[in-house]
């Protein structure tokens, strides 16, 4: 079965510090990978998605970047965090080829980032 | 689409009553729809899905209705329980291959009162 791991679960970082959040998927190959951010009491904002190693698409301009060094690894980074980067970050995966009954996204457990 | 800047609307329901959560989707070409449940501090979890060639699908205590004429999706929860308290997101799928995309709705917070 497929599993998605995301860590850390919580993180408190000072303004101006770097960030690295990691997400890995097991039990599948060639997944589509996604990073979402969710502000408190808000909806899901798609930040980045990737359809393959080294292929990153950015949905919104921001202080963050993403990388996919391996097929099942997706990393969210920042060189200098801003207060506005605080939020709940979610990684998700889906099958590369949309097939019947396989359309959904599977989400990780999320990382709550507080920038102080 | 993704209205991420808006506060989530809230639906309060008494335990044991039925809940109906509504969602308007944007694209008439969307071919597949999913409802997700997100409990506090956790990632969204799949609840139920429906293809565009259907107008109703039932699961355990949940029913999804699709009205393509008015581009409206609803999630009905029978005999709502305290454990149903969560944020519910609808999502619409469109496109094929690497261009396929799932777009999430704003979300609705369901509060179950005792």
Nearest C-alpha of chain B: how many angstroms from A100? 9
Q: B15 pLDDT exceeds 90?
A: yes
With a pLDDT cut of 90, the percent of chain B lying above it is 70
Nearest-CA neighbor of A4 among A112, A77, A105?
A: A105
Read off the pLDDT of each residue in B27-44 and give the average, rounded to a whole number: 91
Domain residues of chain B, as ranges?
A: 10-91+103-113
The sign of the dihedral angle between the CA atoms of A7, A10, A15, A17 is negative
pLDDT at position B28:
87
Read off the pLDDT of each residue in A73-102 and give the average, rounded to a whole number: 85
Nearest C-alpha of chain A: how many angstroms from B93? 8
B-chain residues near A25 (CB < 8 A):
none
pLDDT at position B43:
93
Domains of chain A: total: 1
pLDDT at position A97:
59
Q: B2 pLDDT exceeds 50?
A: no
From A46, A94, A107, residue closest to B43, measured CB to CB: A107
Residue B49 CA, chain-centre distance (Å), reads 9
Write down the mean pLDDT value for chain A.
Answer: 90
Residue B100 CA, chain-centre distance (Å), reads 19
Provide the CATH topology of domain B10-91+103-113.
Answer: Immunoglobulin-like (2.60.40)
From A42, A43, A98, residue closest to B100, measured CB to CB: A98
pLDDT at position B97:
66
Distance CA B108, CA B90 (A): 9
Question: Are residues B107 and A44, on separate chains, in Cβ contact within 8 Å?
Answer: yes
A-chain residues near B7 (CB < 8 A):
41-42
Nearest C-alpha of chain A: how many angstroms from B87? 9
From A98, A107, A109, residue closest to B96, measured CB to CB: A98
CATH of the domain at A74: 2.60.40.10
Read off the pLDDT of each residue in B81-107 and give the average, rounded to a whole number: 86
Q: Assign A19 to helix, strand or coil.
A: strand
Read off the pLDDT of each residue in B9-28 and give the average, rounded to a whole number: 94
Residue numbers of the domain that contains A12: 3-115
Q: B20 pLDDT exceeds 80?
A: yes
Q: A38 to each of A11, A57, A89, B74, B97, how far by Cα in Å?
A: 15, 18, 6, 23, 27
């Amino acid at each position: 079965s497929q599993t998605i791991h995301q860590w850390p679960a919580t993180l408190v970082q000072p303004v101006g510090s770097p960030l690295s959040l990691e997400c890995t998927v097991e039990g599948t190959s060639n997944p589509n990978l996604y990073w979402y951010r969710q502000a408190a009491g808000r909806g899901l904002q798609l930040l980045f998605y990737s359809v393959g190693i080294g292929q990153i698409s950015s949905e919104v301009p921001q202080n963050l970047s993403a990388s996919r060094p391996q097929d099942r690894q997706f990393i969210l980074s920042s060189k200098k965090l801003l207060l506005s980067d605080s939020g709940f970050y979610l990684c998700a995966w889906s099958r590369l080829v949309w097939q019947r009954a396989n359309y959904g996204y599977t989400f990780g457990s999320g990382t709550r980032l507080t920038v102080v | 689409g993704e209205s991420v800047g808006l506060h989530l609307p809230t639906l309060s329901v008494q335990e044991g009553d039925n809940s109906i959560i509504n969602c308007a989707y944007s694209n008439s070409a969307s071919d597949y729809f999913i409802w997700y449940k997100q409990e506090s501090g956790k990632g969204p979890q799949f609840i139920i899905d429906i293809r565009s060639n259907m107008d109703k699908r039932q699961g355990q205590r949940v029913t999804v209705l699709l009205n393509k004429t008015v581009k409206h999706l609803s999630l009905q929860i029978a005999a709502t329980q305290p454990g149903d308290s969560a944020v519910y997101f609808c999502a619409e799928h469109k496109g094929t291959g690497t261009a396929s995309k799932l777009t999430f709705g704003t979300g609705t917070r369901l509060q179950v009162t005792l």
